[in-house]
Amino acid sequence: MFDIECPDVREVVLRALEEDIGDGDITSQLTVPEDLKARGTFLAKQALVLAGVELLPLVYATRGGASVNILHGSGTKLEKGAPIATVEGRATTLLECERVALNFMQRLSGVATLGRKHVDEVAGTKVKVLDTRKTTPGLRRLEKMAAAAGGVTNHRFGLFDAVLIKNNHITAAGGVRQALEKAKRFDGPVEIEVRTRTELDEALACGATRLLLDNLTPEQAAEWVAYIGGRASTELSGNINLGNIKSYAQAGPDFISCGAITHSATAVDISFRLELDDL
């Protein structure tokens, strides 16, 4: 699920290690014998959906190597106290990599955990929950991997892999019809946002196959979805959260996109415990 061979992933891990370690972990160098061996265990300090654990071998390999044993993969639901992974090697290596390893797993597991909560809320409906481009700059690929680990369906990755005609595009293009006509040059998925019934009718008349309905109430969404009647697939977005996503799902759309999954996820609590005994 987490592709550590992906250049984007490797680059962000290397950048994070450089940011934290720089010229060296001064504290460990001064206080810990260079040849001292140790083991460490990553532990879930709360219930969570795990994500990013597959980055651990890359983190440690970058700093001279260590033996990593991953006990649970991304997407696994863990209870408080569950061990996540163990690592053995030079104590100085384990200590200098500790914070970067935790930062990635805590942040990404936070995204996966929040994503799973949204997915669970719409269980029993046909709705697929989508993530958005509202991600931490530089961490989009990892955060979308984390969202997928939580059961969320990835929306477009960026501005380059799908067409999503929003209200400002419609304004700049001169209208719904003009925007859709120009978008026909793209050989891939095309979605358009409609704000009024007039725009909706125009989009359907132009052959739109996927419609974005933004900032509607659940009641309005149900009316619009019923009116569309399967002539195009529908996505709801705008002010949707854990407290109301079920009501929106019951309106009958095909998709619900929720930016909070990435932009408002809280890091989960994971700890690292170092041990020296029996090595």
Fold of 7-112+266-275: Aldehyde Oxidoreductase; domain 3 (3.90.1170)
Give the dihedral sign, CA 107/109/112/114.
Answer: negative
Whole-number pLDDT of residue 2: 82
Whole-number pLDDT of residue 168: 97
Reduced to 3 states (helix: H, G, I; strand: E, B; else coil), residue 47 is coil
What is d(CA 106, CA 176) in angstroms, rounded to the nearest whole number?
43
Q: Establish whether domains 7-112+266-275 and 120-263 are of one fold.
A: no
Place of tokens 């914070």: 99
Task: Please answer whether residues 105 and 42 qualify as being in contact, where contact means their C-beta atoms are separated by less than 8 angstroms.
Answer: yes
φ, ψ of residue 49 to 5 degrees: the values are -105, 120
What are the structural domain ranges in the chain? 7-112+266-275, 120-263
Whole-number pLDDT of residue 195: 93
Whole-number pLDDT of residue 3: 85
DSSP 53: G
Nearest to 97 by CA among 278, 274, 276, 277: 274
Active site residues per annotation: 99, 134, 166, 193, 214
pLDDT digits 0-9 by tens, 155-205: 999 999 999 999 999 999 999 999 999 999 999 999 999 999 999 999 999
Return the structure tokens found at 90: 């030079």
Task: Please answer whether residues 135 and 12 qualify as being in contact, where contact means their C-beta atoms are separated by less than 8 angstroms.
Answer: no
Return the structure tokens found at 61: 């390999």
CATH architecture, domain defined by 120-263: Alpha-Beta Barrel (3.20)
Residue type, 200: L
Reduced to 3 states (helix: H, G, I; strand: E, B; else coil), residue 190 is strand
The residues, ordered by sequence, that sit 6+ positions from 100 with a Cβ below 8 Å of its Cβ are: 13, 16, 17, 20, 21, 59
pTM (2 d.p.): 0.95
Q: Which residues of the chain have pLDDT under 50?
A: none
- Cα distances from 25 to residues 16, 18, 274, in angstroms, run 14, 11, 16
